[in-house]
Amino acid sequence: MVLTVKEIEQRVKPVAEKYEVPVVYIFGSYARNEATNESDIDFLVGTEGMPEKYRWLVYSDFFEELKKAVDHEIDLVEIEALANTNPTTIQKNFTKQVMEERLKIFEK
């Protein structure tokens, strides 16, 4: 089942609030309005300023709760990870694409 952006926002909000995640975006097929039943949901999260007690949970508990909340396969990318000091051309292109198509769905 393809979710609407509004449905994703509603499902993400309580999880993001619980873990005090500052900002959550979607990118990829859902952000481009090209999602199909087989699409995963690509999330971009900002963790800067996040309480240390939750920061390490982003790729474990938060990931699992987010996946359960949207009932889809997901990918999770941290904004700060895109700021690689020596990115390859592929990484630069990926970062550019993500930043251009991202759609904010939650902000603390």
- What does the alpha-carbon distance between residue 52 and residue 101 come to, in Å, rounded to a whole number? 29
Rounded CA separation 86/104 (Å) = 27
pLDDT greater than 80 at residue 79:
yes
Domain, as residue range, for 69: 5-107
Q: How many domains does one find in the chain?
A: 1
Tell me, what's the pLDDT at 43? 97
- Per-residue pLDDT tens over the stretch 55-65: 676 668 889 99
pTM equals: 0.88
CATH of the domain at 46: 3.30.460.10
Q: Which helix (H) or strand (E) holds 41?
A: strand 41-46
Q: Rounded mean pLDDT of 85-106?
A: 86
